[in-house]
Structure 1
Amino acid sequence: MVSNNQLFHLFSFLCFFQITCLHAQLCTQEQTSALLQFKQQFSFNNDAAYGNCDSVGIHSYPKMESWKEGSDCCSWDGVECDNNTSQVIGLDLSCSWLNGTIHPNSTIFSCFPHLQRLNLAFNDFGMSRISSECSRFTRLTHLNLSASNFSGKVPIEVSFLSKLVSLDLSYNDGLRLEEPGFELLVQNLTKVRELNLYDVNISSVVSNSLLNLTSLTLLDLTACELFGKFPDGIFHLPHLNVLSIHDNLALTGYFPELINSSSPLQYLGLSYTNFSGKLPDSIGNLKSLKTLGADFCNFYGSIPTSLGNLTEMTYLFIGYNYFTGMLPSSLSNLGNLVSLAVEFNDFEGKIADFLPNVKSLLYLSVDSNSFSGPFPSLGANLTKLVELGLSNNQLRGPLPSQIIGLPNLALLSLANNLINGTIPSWVFSLPAVKYFNLSNNKLTGHVKDFKSTNLIIVDLSNNNLHGRFPSSTFKLMKLSSLILSSNNFSGELDMLCHAISLKILVLSSNGFNGSIPQCLGNFSIYFSVLDLRKNNFSGTIPDTFVKENSFKTINLDSNGFEGPVPKSLENCKMLQVLDLGHNKFSDKFPYWLENLTSLQVLILRSNKFHGPVPNSKFKFPFPNLRVMDLSTNYFTGPLPRNFFKNLNAMMNVDEASFELKYLGMPSGRSPYYYSDCLTIVIKGSTMEMVKVLTIFIAIDLSKNNFEGEIPQIIGKLNSIQGLNLSHNSLTGHIPASLGNLTMLEWLDLSSNKLTGEIPQQLRNLKFLEVLNLSRNQLIGSIPQGKQFDTFLNDSYIDNLALCGPPLLNACHPRTSQPPPLMFQQEDNTSSGFNWEVILPGYICGLVWGLVMGYFMFSRGKPQWLVRIIEGERNKSGKRFKRYSHRNRAR
């Protein structure tokens, strides 16, 4: 039985313990004030998370809202205190909606000397610098500043935090670690277990000091601008679970020949580096490996069969390399495999020989290899497949008439194979398919209704499909891209108005007919590509293009459209390509197009446009135009001098620094894109450019009724590659300024009324391959040397006063420099004579003839005059015979 004295002592102890614990949890006033001052530096914004908190499983909310004056800071959300000393030892403000700047003299650096853990990840600190005052945190073991919009140089003081076991500075786009910061960091942080510098700009060779970090479990140096050889000894660190050096394009290295079978490595990321060589057999020793990312490297050779020993593997990415041979059948042992990507190599054999027979496989991509044989039997175990990419191989024969159900398949890509026959019903019955690509095969027959209502992209281009395309497809609410080009489809487009989400519609090279429905311009503000070229469409273009639309390409080439160009096209502010060529449009020049600042290609070729091209009504017409084709119309008047003056995209293009890309191709690595195709005359031949480089620059104004002189200012377009002004009524001299067009590859000024000599400055055109100056009234010697030595007679025919090679008529001293006044034209006519010079001689000759005539008739025929006249007649006949003979020889 407990005595009263014992109860008293027990009660006293419990009271003392409670008071001690309460005192231990009370935050000091200094730390409370410091935290409240720190809070005042920020606002709370639920969009302030610079990264995605959900992706790392962290709940996002404003933790600081619970911080109130007069309450114990140790009870505040995100604050951790030591139970014995009441000192703040941990601050976790990750995903706290913080928006603002951390000042270098912030109270957080001066008032928390006992801080051990600091986590400010997933906030927005507005490009704040990491303060050198962080060196005060001498007891810090965990520092996480990831994805919080820090910038600038990482202070060298971070390397003084020698007790750090975890350092995470990842996902801050503007951070850089300059020399010798990286070297000091890995030398001093000898206890570090997790080192994450993802996207920190190090720009250095990988330090060998990393080999001394024997406690490392995670090393992430992704996208750090590293270069040089990566030390393969890191593969042997005894506790390393995660090694990621993705996206260091200048980083070289080899997979080590010997890998310890006790390695705990689970994640190995080498993608987008210059790692090369063969995968060694010892890769099979990495029994714990779950993810191998080795795509976009320079690996070559065959795949070792030991890869099948990695039974824990879930993700295997080895695409975009130089692997050859057959994939080993041992891959079927990878029972946990979720994703297998081997695209863009040179693997061969039959897909069924290595296809993993596993229920877990979701993603299979073997695109762009040399696999052959029939379409593989997928087997009953692959019913979970979400993506199946077999494009760009040599699969032959028809698709199987029946196949095991694929209820989850969202992507089916069989493009660029040799598949023939009709499309079986099971293909159209896939219930979940979103991306559907059977393009560039030999498929025939009709297209049936799709069962899936989730279709986003349908590409059936370049086959032999025919008949009417099912109108129900246009009614799919999510359909974004429909590409049916180069088939034999027919019918009208009345159902087009139902495609409310359509962005890309490509129906080129088919037999579609009828008119374009009135809904064209307003049924979707997201519509970006309309390609109807080479069909049988007719009628007028609806004048219904709404404001703020997203059209980038409108290609109506080779149809039967007529009438005027719709004025509402001026609402297409994002338009880059407008091709109305080879139709029946009848209109004056649509001057309002000049204000489309994004327009790069304008083709009005082979229509019935007429009248002059007026002076621009805008200050800067066509600022980004690179291709202008107004040929084969009825334009009159002078050449559009104002356009030449303001075509800035044709001037001073530095091809060396210009990003080479194609019109219509989006950025990124998406396999779904639209590439603009143009039909244009290049170097005298009509060509179809399936892909058009954005640096392609040309002007074609041929086959019109333009007149007057060629403006000197055209010489400012020094990046132009092709200039065709042929078959007009141009007069005057060839401007010497054309010699400034140093990138010119073809120049056609034929079939005009040009006079004068060929400017010697044209010898500067070192890239000129085709020159046509024929059928003009040019005179004098042809320039010699450089590119002019490559041109034949055809370049100069029907210019009777030209001389010198390659023509047979040589230039004589007395005729090589004809009297300049005799052939100058002051009135811009086609005459070639100056009557002010000739008239005095004409009058003198007339008087002399009258006098001689008087003597002849009054005194009979003087014998001396008869001898003179007869002699000249004989000489004239001989000259005529020689001239005729020379012409026949030519």
Structure 2
Amino acid sequence: MMLVVVRVVVCVHIFMLFHFACLSSHSCHSEESSALLHFKTQLITNTTFYDYYYANFCPYVYPKMRTWENGTDCCSWMGVTCDSLSGHVIGLDLSCSALVGIIHPNSTLFHLTRLQTLNFAYNYFYNSQLSSQFGEFVSLTHLNLSSCGFEGDIPSQISHLSKLQSLDLSLNYGLKWEETTWKRLLQNTSLREIVLDQTDMSLIGPTPNPLSLIANLSSTLVTLSLGYTRIRGSLTSDIFCLPNLQHLILTGNELSVHLSELSCTTSLSILDLSDCGIQGPISSSFYNLTHLTSLNLADNQLNGSISSSLLNLQRLTHLDLSRNELSGQIPNVFDKLTKLQTLSLSDNNFQGKLPSSLFTLTQLSQLDCSSNQIEGPLPKQVAFSNLIELFLEDNLLNGTIPPSILSLKSLRSLDLSNNRFIGYISSEITSYSLEYLFLCGNKLQENILESISHFVNLTYLCLSSDNWSGTVHFQLFSKLQKLEYLSLSGCNSLLLESETSMNYTFLNLYALQLFSNNIIGWSKFSGKFPQLEFLELSNNKLEGKIPNWIHDIPSLCHLKLSHNMITSIGHQFPWYHFEYLDLSFNLMDDDISSFFCNTTSLEVINLSHNRFTGTFPQCLANTSSLVDLDIQMNKLHGNLSDNFKQLQLETLNLNGNQFEGLLPKSLSSCTYLVDLDLGNNQFEDTFPDWLQNLSSLEILVLGGNKLYGPIANLKSENIFPSLIYLDISCNNFSGSLPKAYIQNFQAMKIVGDEVQRRLVDYIDTSFGAIVGNILPEYDNSVIATVKGTNTPFAKIPTTFVNIDLSENKFEGEIPDDFGELHGLIGLNLSHNRLVGHIPHSLGNLTNLESLDLSSNMLTGDIPTELANLNFLEVLSLSQNQLVGPIPRGKQFDTFSNDSYEGNMGLCGFPLSIQCNNVSLQQCPSSEAEDKFGFGWKPVAIGYACGVVLGIGLGFCVFSIGKPQWLVIIFGGKRIKRRSRGNRRARTT
């Protein structure tokens, strides 16, 4: 087959050579030949670079300049066109020629002043500036510089090309338009085709409307493509009324759309307004564009239903309304749209049944109605004689899968996963076309496995479910020798080993996902996987050592064995070719001190929640490829060597081990670090202010160590600029709260949707993403306190902003600056020695859900501003010296007595002490706790003297009976602080 292709390409090239030679009756002019040869010396041919970047754009690559030889007629050179009368070079087409280099302003290219067509598309010119010399080609009618790597401002001289009919500068991501250049180009040319996708037009407009300037080309413009140019402005009806406009592509821009009823005759055939931020219902004007063959309104915020006037667009071949907010039932009008070839209505809120007319479209090759709420069975008979792809996943479809769909002769891809299909598939059905079959997440019966084994051309197969009863024999899948990806879960019993003791081989399988099964015989399995790269066997009740058949897979680079009962890795693992390793949540107790010393490519390692022993594997500190390391909750010990240098680390989680000594300062050189969790160890050091300049750090957990001393108030404007989660609880920090840090937590000042940071993922590379979002995401374990409850997270979302400084020895007042951290969800300052009033500025934290100021020495009243915290669900102000009435209304009416206990002077709901019945004498605050070593309540009684004590106690007993605080004192009871073992763990 390859030989045939090569012969065809060679024949095409030979034909082109003869074609170019015959175009001219004159020899090439010597000065133009010299200019071309000199231009050739400024560039190189690099087919490897081409294959990597441009293979999807060009049907083939041919280094055309290789035919350019001195002493030969340049009019015969490939890519060169000469005028048939004068012999001058008028055309130069070097597209897809694998050229690499720089086009300088003094290049001899610009000596070819008679050029009429110039095409350099899909070469790479090293981020060259687009020279103003291009404006000297005054005879140019066609200029194509698509995807050439040009950057910088587009020169105004481009507007001198008054004869230009076609301009394509697309896919030059660094090219920028000035407004004056854009205006002059439209004024001085008669362009028929403008293709500028992914150039930068953000400096144009929105006033005057840059799209309205197109009116200057009203009599000539046929194609306008400005996708992802960041152009701003309004899309109005007059654009659609341009008499010759056929193709309008504005995808990926933020446009306001103002369409009135079209009163003109339009020739528009292709309209792409996807990802333009269009809101509201679909304008009825779209349905008046009766010449449309392709309409793309995907990725907007369109809502409402689809009008039955859709049938006006009877010339449509392609319709895409996916990823919007459309609802209602899909109208039953498709019997009028008989030319439809592709239809996508996915990711909306459509309900009801699929319309029957949809299944009559004989020209349809692709149908995508996935991710809606469509229900009901599929019809038993369909007329999809040309259907290649059918995507109906993530709906509420039920019943059995019709044999007529599985038997479609042209069907290659079928995805019915995550529906409610039941029953079985007839063993009489055989498909020779199906390559991708996804039936995961249904209630099908296990006997379909035998039927599917007859689909001999399957390459991707997903059968994960929770409904497979009986015993499933894995050997069955060996019949599918073209299989590349297999996912199977939910088996009551999955037998790996062969009943006949025969070895069987999966020649092409590169991804195997067998999770949440009850696997039998994994240690005796003898199958061969010569191409396997991705293997997941998580949550399968696997026991013992990792068997040799896994060790012996030569191509394995991604392994996930989490959530089993595996006790040992076994003999030396072939780390050297691994990229991803997840052994978390097992019973492994190997000594890992010398692990990974022969690895060169490991990027993700998760050994968390095991019983691994030994010291930190120092070889990892020299692994430059390492991105994510999670070894939390093991039995590792010893000091960390200070050699974390030149690493690409984004995540380092050592929580819940027995590491000790100083924190390694070399972590400050890990400039990509996003998540650093060293909590619940035995580190003994001061606060690591040397981490403050890590611009990407978003999570810092140091709680549960032996860190000590004050946190210096550094004078800097760049202190932890991206931090959104800080936990330094359960240490011995002292002094005042770190006001300078609080003032500079810039990321915490941003609320919710305004923040543009990416999601923080403890293990950023998911097992699923590696194979194209087929496999599920990596399930790491992060537990944070949310609303007073330990909550597991697979990811910490950008909206979860938290500060925990509890259980230290901080003293002084709470800074007002906390009130500027508007993104805060949780704030815990409990069990310190804080004094003074609760800042009124905390009432500005309108996103706050949890506030814990308990067990301090705070005085004064509870600010009424806190009653405005509409999302506050957990509040603890207990064990302080607060006085006065408890605020009423909103969330405060939902809190129980526990939120306020231990504050003698508080009154009002929910306490039984009514504010109009009691007025207790308050005891002055003192430093008695520091001097005598016990809490403020007994000290308070000691300060109350004589008559005050007698009257106060008598009045209280008379009014409210035996008060709790009196029982505590005279009953000899003490307020007990939460022990470290009972504290609310943040990242266990």
1:772 to partner: Cα distance: 2.0
**Superposition TM-score, scaled by structure 2 size:** 0.68
Structure 1's 188 and 266: CA in aligned 2 closer, same or farther, altered over 3 A? closer
1:235–1:259 CA contact under 8 A, matched in 2: no
SS in 1 for 2:406: helix
Q: Which moved more, 1:427-436 or 1:350-359?
A: 350-359
Structure 1's 533 and 304: CA in aligned 2 closer, same or farther, altered over 3 A? same
1:276–1:298 CA contact under 8 A, matched in 2: yes
Q: Which runs of 5+ in 2 are unaligned?
A: 1-20, 100-119, 167-188, 202-209, 248-264, 493-516, 968-988
In structure 2, distance between residues paired with 1:171 and 1:77: 32
Structure 1's 538 and 731: CA in aligned 2 closer, same or farther, altered over 3 A? same
Equivalent residue number for residue 962 of structure 2: 886
Amino acid in structure 1 at the alignment position of 2:239: G
In structure 1, distance between residues paired with 2:90 and 2:953: 117
Q: Deviations over 1:349-407 (max 9, x none)?
A: 25645997334543332334444547823765455543332335543455415234255
Corresponding residue to 1:413 among 464, 473, 487:
487
Equivalent residue number for residue 634 of structure 1: 732
1:636–1:706 CA contact under 8 A, matched in 2: yes
1:646 to partner: Cα distance: 1.6
Corresponding residue to 1:453 among 554, 577, 583:
554
Equivalent residue number for residue 397 of structure 2: 323
In structure 1, distance between residues paired with 2:53 and 2:197: 11
Corresponding residue to 1:653 among 746, 751, 759:
751
Aligned pairs for 1:25-40 (under 5 A) are 25-26=25-26
Matched, 1:482 2:556: no
In structure 2, distance between residues paired with 1:578 and 1:690: 16
1:446 to partner: Cα distance: 5.2
Amino acid in structure 1 at the alignment position of 2:814: I
Structure 1's 137 and 574: CA in aligned 2 closer, same or farther, altered over 3 A? closer
Equivalent residue number for residue 809 of structure 2: 705
Corresponding residue to 1:520 among 620, 624, 639:
620
2:726–2:802 CA contact under 8 A, matched in 1: yes
Amino acid in structure 1 at the alignment position of 2:405: L
Q: Which moved more, 1:277-286 or 1:625-634?
A: 277-286
Structure 1's 596 and 423: CA in aligned 2 closer, same or farther, altered over 3 A? farther
Aligned pairs for 1:654-803 (under 5 A) are 654-655=752-753, 661=759, 663-664=761-762, 670=773, 671=775, 673-674=777-778, 677-803=781-907
Amino acid in structure 2 at the alignment position of 1:459: K
1:80–1:91 CA contact under 8 A, matched in 2: yes
In structure 1, distance between residues paired with 2:296 and 2:50: 23
Equivalent residue number for residue 571 of structure 1: 669
Equivalent residue number for residue 449 of structure 2: 376
Equivalent residue number for residue 496 of structure 1: 596
1:408–1:433 CA contact under 8 A, matched in 2: no
1:282–1:306 CA contact under 8 A, matched in 2: no
Amino acid in structure 1 at the alignment position of 2:892: F
1:332–1:355 CA contact under 8 A, matched in 2: no
Structure 1's 305 and 490: CA in aligned 2 closer, same or farther, altered over 3 A? farther
Equivalent residue number for residue 641 of structure 2: 543
In structure 2, distance between residues paired with 1:109 and 1:273: 50
1:696 to partner: Cα distance: 0.9
In structure 1, distance between residues paired with 2:819 and 2:780: 28
1:581 to partner: Cα distance: 2.3
Matched, 1:303 2:378: yes
Equivalent residue number for residue 56 of structure 2: 55
SS in 1 for 2:242: helix
Structure 1's 612 and 143: CA in aligned 2 closer, same or farther, altered over 3 A? same
Corresponding residue to 1:808 among 912, 928, 932:
912
In structure 2, distance between residues paired with 1:88 and 1:193: 36
Matched, 1:510 2:610: yes
Structure 1's 57 and 609: CA in aligned 2 closer, same or farther, altered over 3 A? same
Q: Which runs of 5+ in 1 are unaligned?
A: 1-20, 846-868
1:613 to partner: Cα distance: 2.8
SS in 1 for 2:741: helix
Structure 1's 77 and 141: CA in aligned 2 closer, same or farther, altered over 3 A? farther
Equivalent residue number for residue 245 of structure 1: 320
In structure 1, distance between residues paired with 2:215 and 2:804: 61
Equivalent residue number for residue 407 of structure 2: 333
Q: Deviations over 1:823-850 (max 9, x none)?
A: 36699989999xxxx99x99xx9xxxxx
Structure 1's 222 and 428: CA in aligned 2 closer, same or farther, altered over 3 A? farther
Equivalent residue number for residue 865 of structure 1: none
In structure 1, distance between residues paired with 2:228 and 2:843: 50
**Superposition TM-score, scaled by structure 1 size:** 0.75
1:331–1:355 CA contact under 8 A, matched in 2: no
What is the total number of aligned residue pairs between the two structures? Answer: 811
Amino acid in structure 2 at the alignment position of 1:366: L
Q: Which moved more, 1:659-668 or 1:432-441?
A: 659-668
Equivalent residue number for residue 13 of structure 1: none
Larger Rg: 1
In structure 1, distance between residues paired with 2:789 and 2:345: 48
SS in 1 for 2:647: coil
Structure 1's 222 and 720: CA in aligned 2 closer, same or farther, altered over 3 A? closer
1:92–1:119 CA contact under 8 A, matched in 2: no
Equivalent residue number for residue 651 of structure 2: 553
Matched, 1:582 2:680: yes
Q: Deviations over 1:186-240 (max 9, x none)?
A: 6679999995869796969574565347xx6xx4748696968586448743xx7
SS in 2 for 1:496: coil
In angstroms, what is the RMSD of aligned CA positions?
5.3
SS in 2 for 1:886: coil
SS in 1 for 2:602: coil
SS in 2 for 1:823: coil
In structure 1, distance between residues paired with 2:444 and 2:159: 56
1:700 to partner: Cα distance: 1.6
In structure 2, distance between residues paired with 1:222 and 1:577: 39
In structure 1, distance between residues paired with 2:950 and 2:453: 103
Equivalent residue number for residue 431 of structure 1: 530
Equivalent residue number for residue 416 of structure 2: 342
In structure 2, distance between residues paired with 1:538 and 1:630: 21
1:158–1:185 CA contact under 8 A, matched in 2: no
2:580–2:602 CA contact under 8 A, matched in 1: yes
1:121–1:144 CA contact under 8 A, matched in 2: no
Structure 1's 181 and 43: CA in aligned 2 closer, same or farther, altered over 3 A? farther
Structure 1's 143 and 571: CA in aligned 2 closer, same or farther, altered over 3 A? same
In structure 1, distance between residues paired with 2:388 and 2:639: 54
1:383–1:404 CA contact under 8 A, matched in 2: no
1:519 to partner: Cα distance: 0.8
In structure 2, distance between residues paired with 1:783 and 1:568: 49
1:581–1:603 CA contact under 8 A, matched in 2: yes
Q: Deviations over 1:156-202 (max 9, x none)?
A: 5666448x7xx694877567994433442666799999958697969
In structure 1, distance between residues paired with 2:268 and 2:224: 11
1:83 to partner: Cα distance: 6.7
Amino acid in structure 1 at the alignment position of 2:658: G
Corresponding residue to 2:290 among 204, 211, 216:
211
SS in 2 for 1:306: coil
In structure 1, distance between residues paired with 2:390 and 2:889: 60
Aligned pairs for 1:578-617 (under 5 A) are 578-616=676-714
Amino acid in structure 1 at the alignment position of 2:532: V
Structure 1's 498 and 795: CA in aligned 2 closer, same or farther, altered over 3 A? same
Structure 1's 67 and 573: CA in aligned 2 closer, same or farther, altered over 3 A? same
In structure 1, distance between residues paired with 2:779 and 2:154: 42
Equivalent residue number for residue 8 of structure 1: none
